[in-house]
Amino acid sequence: MDWPHDPDGEEGSEGGRKYGMAILAKKLDEEEDFPLSKREFVEEHADEPVRINYQRVVSVADIFEHVEGEEFDSILDFHKAVGAGMRRGGFWDYHPRGENPEKKSA
């Protein structure tokens, strides 16, 4: 696909140092962008590439097809909704297992 910028350049994944959620989060200003309209965010960034892992690059629009909600009140709400959408869409390779996969270790 022809991306508007190099997915592995500084504008994309900062030279391969950032992936997935980190790329989306760097497009936001926590102080000024919230509440954030999903529609406006997607309109502005839809065709931009997001490197998911060393093999896969998808567009912001591809990810947001699976993100629920129309507005995010905070960066935390954004992260939760996008993370759930990325899991639903099969964009994450890592899926916790075990007795209580939702439990966060210290």
Q: Where are the domains of the chain?
A: 21-88
- Cβ count within 10 A of residue 24: 21
Which has the closest alpha carbon to 5: 38, 45, 39, 62?
Answer: 45
14/69 Cα distance (integer angstroms): 28
Q: What is the pLDDT of residues 31-66, one digit of tens each?
A: 999 999 999 999 999 999 998 887 888 999 999 999
pTM of the model: 0.75
SS3 at position 31: coil
Task: Report how far residue 70's alpha carbon sits from residue 18's, in angstroms, rounded to the nearest whole number.
Answer: 26
